[in-house]
């Protein structure tokens, strides 16, 4: 028996101005779920929006308070970022990735969304003829929306059938026209939680160097692959990265998930030192500056988007990064709660006829963490997303993320202990209804 009737769900979509619930964005799905909750008082199992479900890190909060009390709020922050954060970022990258990037090349941004927006501009303007972005999907839908705003084109492919060495031929096919300026992916992945393995990162790095393509590596879920203990600074195993295999990279490090600091909109783009120093005549001609990638990115592009990142938040982020390097904050342990939630949620779904859409990496099953993917026999992703809403569960269709698989994305961040019995009851009803229908 459905929790919400067909009529009520249609009303919610209509009143929320959602034209196609099967292919709704995260924001549209959120509006429908909120409407139904307000209308009925029945709680939703919220698997739509990837907003942190843990308290913000207290060390960052206290550091920001001290910064405000110091009077720093009266001064504009430097476009390149505050020295304290740039040095902390360089230290953090060395401690947890074992990659050397100078503080100069670590640049604060107002969230990774601003970081990717500015990076798309710089990458696609640096050389005439290289003006498209290649997405290794599934991925974060907002990044394609950014390219729409910029009037830039992209190519994409679903990695599902191209894991391991098969990735090489597929990438060569996709970049063969010579028009790819950048390759972008998240690792671990939003939405499927797959993780690229070393051999795949090496392939991406080799192709980036061979074809002079910049890799944008989105590390929003940094060190949250709980299959390995990545919590010890300056000790292996380190976080996997393409930076070991090419100098053409930009790493995006967000505070939103690892420190639950999403409300402060703080991230870093960490640019390869060699890329930072490269000079591009096309950038020089456009911006009437030196055309050196790093300074142009900061002063001529990023500053036009954000005018610098909030000074106090930079200092809060710096404090959290430094304490992590010193072993006084264990952000990896803090975020393991998401893996615990994923394990419980997956079991409930799989016990009731669902399957994990992206179940494996190359050599092992995917880990548990912030996201996972779900499919149900005989249903497209759109049909499943709509049907789940009738049972008080909100998610998004995987096809909105560039996936070619039939399923939905599930986020663990808003799950609470008292909701597990509710989810189990609803999924039992779902199974009974659909077993009967078959």
Q: Residue 49's pLDDT is what?
A: 86
Neighbours of 58 (CB within 10 A): 11
Q: Residue 50's pLDDT is what?
A: 87
Strand pairing partners for 252? Answer: 218, 269
Percent of the chain with pLDDT over 90: 97
pTM score, whole prediction: 0.95
Banded model confidence at residue 401, pLDDT cuts 50, 70, 90: very high
Shortest CA distance to 109 belongs to which of 284, 264, 272?
A: 264
Angstrom distance (rounded) from CA 375 to CA 95: 38
Write out pLDDT tens, residues 121-158: 999 999 999 999 999 999 999 999 999 999 999 999 99
Banded model confidence at residue 404, pLDDT cuts 50, 70, 90: very high
Average pLDDT over residues 305-323: 97
Return residue ranges of the chain for CATH 3.90.1150.100.
Answer: 6-54+335-437
Q: Residue 359's pLDDT is what?
A: 97
The CATH number of domain 76-325, selected from 3.40.50.970, 3.90.78.10, 3.40.640.10, 3.20.20.70: 3.40.640.10
Average pLDDT over residues 381-396: 96
| C-alpha radius of gyration, the chain, whole number | 22
Q: What is the dihedral of CA 288, 291, 292, 298, to 10 degrees?
A: 50
Q: Residue 146's pLDDT is what?
A: 97
CATH 3.90.1150.100 fits 6-54+335-437, yes or no: yes
Whether the pLDDT of residue 407 is over 90: the answer is yes
Q: Provide CB contacts within 8 A for 213, sequence distance 6+.
A: 130, 134, 175, 180, 181, 182, 183, 207, 248
Q: Residue 113's pLDDT is what?
A: 96
Query: Phi/psi of residue 394, each to 5°?
Result: -105, 140
Q: What is the largest CA-CA distance in the chain?
A: 69
Banded model confidence at residue 437, pLDDT cuts 50, 70, 90: low
Average pLDDT over residues 273-278: 98
Percent of the chain with pLDDT over 70: 99
Average pLDDT over residues 13-18: 94
Instruction: Extract the tokens encoding 139.
Output: 């991925």
Banded model confidence at residue 1, pLDDT cuts 50, 70, 90: confident
Contact 169, 200 (CB under 8 A): no
Ramachandran sector of residue 206 (left: φ over 0; alpha: ψ -120 to 50; beta: rest)? alpha
Instruction: Extract the tokens encoding 238.
Output: 């380190």
Instruction: Extract the tokens encoding 182.
Output: 């950048």
Contact 241, 270 (CB under 8 A): no
Q: Residue 438's pLDDT is what?
A: 55
Write out pLDDT tens, residues 22-61: 999 989 999 999 999 999 999 999 999 888 999 999 999 9
Write out pLDDT tens, residues 95-131: 999 999 999 999 999 999 999 999 999 999 999 999 9
Shortest CA distance to 375 belongs to which of 413, 343, 349?
A: 349
Average pLDDT over residues 234-248: 98
Banded model confidence at residue 435, pLDDT cuts 50, 70, 90: confident
Write out pLDDT tens, residues 161-192: 999 999 999 999 999 999 999 999 999 999 99
Return residue ranges of the chain for CATH 3.40.640.10.
Answer: 76-325
Banded model confidence at residue 301, pLDDT cuts 50, 70, 90: very high
């Amino acid at each position: 028996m459905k929790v919400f009737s067909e009529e009520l769900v249609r009303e919610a979509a209509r009143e929320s101005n959602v034209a196609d619930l099967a292919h709704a964005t995260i924001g549209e799905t959120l509006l429908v779920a909120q409407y139904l909750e307000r209308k009925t008082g029945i709680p939703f199992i919220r698997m739509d929006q990837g907003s942190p479900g843990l308290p913000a890190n207290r060390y960052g909060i206290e550091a920001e308070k001290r910064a405000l009390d110091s009077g720093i709020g009266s001064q504009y922050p430097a476009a390149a970022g505050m020295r304290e954060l740039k040095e902390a970022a360089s230290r953090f990258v060395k401690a947890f990735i074992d990659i050397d990037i100078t503080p100069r090349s670590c640049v604060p941004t107002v969230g990774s969304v601003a970081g990717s927006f500015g990076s798309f501009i710089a990458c696609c303007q640096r050389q005439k003829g290289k003006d498209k972005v290649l997405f290794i999907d599934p991925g974060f839908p907002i990044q394609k929306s950014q390219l729409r705003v910029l009037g830039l084109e992209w190519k994409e492919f679903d990695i599902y059938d191209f894991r391991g060495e098969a990735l090489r031929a597929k990438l060569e096919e996709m970049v063969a026209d010579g028009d790819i300026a950048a390759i972008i992916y998240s690792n671990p992945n939003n939405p499927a939680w797959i993780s690229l393995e070393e051999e795949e990162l090496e392939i991406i790095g080799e192709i980036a160097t061979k074809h002079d393509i910049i890799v944008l590596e989105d590390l929003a879920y940094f060190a949250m692959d709980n299959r390995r203990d990545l919590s010890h600074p300056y000790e292996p195993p380190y976080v996997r990265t393409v930076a070991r295999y090419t100098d053409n990279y930009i790493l995006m490090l967000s505070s939103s998930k690892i420190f639950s600091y999403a409300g402060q909109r703080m991230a870093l783009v960490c640019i390869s030192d060699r890329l930072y120093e490269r000079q591009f005549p096309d950038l020089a001609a456009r911006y009437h500056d030196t055309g050196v990638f790093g300074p142009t990115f900061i002063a001529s592009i990023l500053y036009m988007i954000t005018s610098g990142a909030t000074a106090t938040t930079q200092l809060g982020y710096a404090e959290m990064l430094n304490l992590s390097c010193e072993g006084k904050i264990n952000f990896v342990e803090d975020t393991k709660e998401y893996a615990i939630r994923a394990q419980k949620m997956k079991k409930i779904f799989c016990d009731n006829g669902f399957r994990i859409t992206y179940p494996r990496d190359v050599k092992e099953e995917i880990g548990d963490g912030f996201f996972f993917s779900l499919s149900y026999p005989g249903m497209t992703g759109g049909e499943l997303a709509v049907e789940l809403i009738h049972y008080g569960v909100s998610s998004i269709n995987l096809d909105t993320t560039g996936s070619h698989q039939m399923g939905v994305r599930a986020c663990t961040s808003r799950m609470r202990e008292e909701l597990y019995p509710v989810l189990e009851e609803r999924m039992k009803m779902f199974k009974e209804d659909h077993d009967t229908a078959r």
